Each structure stands twice: as C-alpha cells, then as structure tokens.
C-alpha cells in the first residue's frame, strides 16, 4: 500500500520542530508500524537524509519503550497493543498518517519522536519498591498466603510497562494511571503494606513535582493503555492517599 506520512521532525530539545510530509510505497499489511518506519528510514538514509528517530527495544509489546501518537491516539487506533505490535493492516492504501511524539511538559522531546520519560523513573524511585533484604537471607514471597482476588489485582496493576500512553492520551497530560498502578501493585500485597503510607505520599508528591496535569476522570488513559490498566487503580490511589495523609 501507499501511505502519506506526516511526521514530527525536531532536531533537538531546544530547536522548534515541524511536521514533514513523506510518501511511502510498498508497505505490507503484515508489517508492524515500526517496520514501516524502518523502511522509511532506509529510504531516507539511501538518499543521504537524516532518518526519523523513534524509541524501540523489544518489539514484543512488553518493554514499554516504543511510543508515538498515531493519528491522534497513543499507540495508534488499535486497542491493547503497543506501537510495535500495531500492524499496517489496520490502515488502508492511500491513508494519511500523522505521527507525533507523546506530548506532555513532563515528557520533553529529545529528538524527532523520542521523548524523555525519565519523570516516570523518578516517580518510581520515590516509593515504587519494598525495602527487603535480598543479600542471602531472602524470605520466599510465597510463604505469605494472599487471597486470589488481591493477587490478581496486584498482578494486573503490575503489568503496567510505563510507556506513557496514559499521559499522552489524557487531555490534561495526567500521570495518575501510571502512578496509581505502581501504588496499587504494592498496596494490595502484605509485603507492600509496611511502607504504604509513605509510598503513596512520596509518589504523588513526585508526580506533582514533575508537572503532570490533574485527573478529571475522562477515562481516556484506560482506553488507550496497551496493558488495560484499570481506572479502579486511580480510585485505590485516591483512597490510599486520603488514608495516608489523615495518618500524617
């Protein structure tokens, strides 16, 4: 198929970017979206032009590295997939595809389609862990019985790959789905309860410091999340925080 691509090109963080038009022929439906960009880049390199920079790593939908706002939606029009798992069969011959970086003040553009998502790392570092001794006398996590419902909910929250689609989709660029998933995966388990009070306060504080927007419950994040992280996590974070701040 033949595609008309409108791609955000930006030399570096300090240089203003712009949309550049490309026409790409010979795209197959079985190609992934990133393979389509690979072909474009091969063409650009062969013509001596600068290739389009974009993030990618595992290309198996599990690492959270790929991003891209495709035709106005993070990870494109398909549901529950990352950009690397989005296939070109979702598009038609002659389509125009607008490709932009994830937009948020807290996710500054590094180059072209690559954004700096280290704000997520800092939120995680603020409390997204449990303090246990791992140097030889580790206690088997399975020695503490956990009911099935809580174990499943915690595992569902833990499937968040931190790609940033929630922030990109949200009209307010809010990071509450990400933060709440990271709070929930520990809050639901006895191992996480020990530091639960400090954790939720620290992670929310860091989230606010990074300059993300406020949650207004539109639910866009849940729809666009490639891992189907539920809004119930945000409710859980809200009550965890209320409970934590009332304790002081």
> Does the footprint of another protein cover residue 197 (CB under 8 A)?
no
Binding segment (CB under 8 A) for another protein, from list 31-39, 54-62, 135-143, 219-227: 219-227
Query: Phi and psi for 139 in degrees, rounded to 5?
Result: -90, 135
Q: Which is nearer to another protein, 26 or 228 (CB)?
A: 228
Measured between alpha carbons, how far is 105 from 200 in angstroms, rounded to an integer? 23
Binding segment (CB under 8 A) for another protein, from list 29-37, 138-146, 191-199, 211-219: 211-219
Q: Which is nearer to another protein, 81 or 106 (CB)?
A: 106
Taking CB under 8 A as the criterion, which residues in 135-194 touch another protein? 169, 171-174, 176
Q: For the CB of residue 19, give the shortest distance to another protein in the complex, in Å.
A: 6
Of 128, 132, 134, 138, give the one whose Cα is nearest residue 158. 128
Binding segment (CB under 8 A) for another protein, from list 37-45, 139-147, 150-158, 227-235: 227-235
Q: For the CB of residue 37, give the shortest distance to another protein in the complex, in Å.
A: 17
Q: Which is nearer to another protein, 28 or 116 (CB)?
A: 116
Per-residue binding string, another protein, 1-40, x by CB under 8 A, is -----x-x----------x---------------------
Q: Which is nearer to another protein, 55 or 210 (CB)?
A: 210
**Could you write out the three-class secondary structure of the chain?**
CCEEEEEEECCCCCCCCEEEEEEECCCCCCCEHHHHHHHHHHHHHHCCCCCCCCCCCCCCCCCCCCCCEECCEECCCCCCCCHHHCEHHHCCCCCEEEEECCCCCCCCEEECCEECCHHHHHHHHCCCCCCCCCCCCCCCHHHCCCCHHHHHHHHHHHCCCCCCHHHHHCCCCECHHHHHHHHHHHHCCHHHHCCHHHHHHHHHHHHHHCCCECCCCCCHHHHHCCCCCCCHHHHHHHHHHHHHHHHC
> Does the footprint of another protein cover residue 224 (CB under 8 A)?
yes
Binding another protein (rule: CB under 8 A), the pick from 32, 67, 69, 184 is: 69
Measured between alpha carbons, how far is 61 from 80 in angstroms, rounded to an integer? 10
Q: Which is nearer to another protein, 17 or 64 (CB)?
A: 17
| Residues at the interface with another protein (CB under 8 A) | 6, 8, 19, 69, 71-73, 77, 98, 100, 103-106, 109, 169, 171-174, 176, 201, 204-205, 207-208, 211-220, 223-224, 231-232, 234-242, 245
């Amino acid at each position: 198929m033949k595609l008309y691509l409108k791609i955000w090109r930006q030399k570096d963080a300090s240089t203003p970017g712009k949309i550049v038009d490309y026409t790409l022929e010979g795209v197959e439906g079985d190609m992934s979206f990133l393979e389509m960009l690979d072909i474009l880049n091969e063409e650009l390199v062969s013509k001596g032009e600068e290739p389009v920079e974009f993030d990618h790593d595992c290309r198996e939908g599990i690492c959270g590295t790929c991003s891209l706002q495709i035709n106005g939606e993070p990870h494109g029009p398909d549901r529950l997939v990352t950009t690397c798992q989005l296939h070109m069969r979702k598009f038609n011959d002659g389509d125009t595809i607008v490709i932009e970086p994830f937009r948020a003040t807290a996710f500054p553009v590094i180059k072209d389609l690559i954004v700096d998502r280290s704000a997520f790392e800092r939120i995680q570092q603020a409390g997204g862990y449990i303090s246990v001794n791992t140097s030889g006398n580790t206690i088997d996590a399975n020695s503490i019985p956990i009911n099935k419902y809580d174990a499943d909910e915690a595992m569902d929250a833990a499937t968040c790959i931190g790609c940033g689609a929630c922030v990109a989709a949200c009209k307010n660029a809010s990071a509450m789905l990400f933060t709440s998933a990271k709070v929930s995966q520990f809050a639901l388990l006895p191992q996480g309860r020990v530091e639960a009070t400090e954790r939720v306060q620290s992670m929310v504080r860091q989230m606010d410091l990074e300059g993300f927007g406020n949650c207004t419950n539109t639910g866009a994040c849940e729809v666009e999340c490639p891992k189907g992280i539920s809004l119930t996590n945000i409710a859980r974070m809200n009550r965890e925080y209320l409970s934590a701040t009332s304790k002081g």
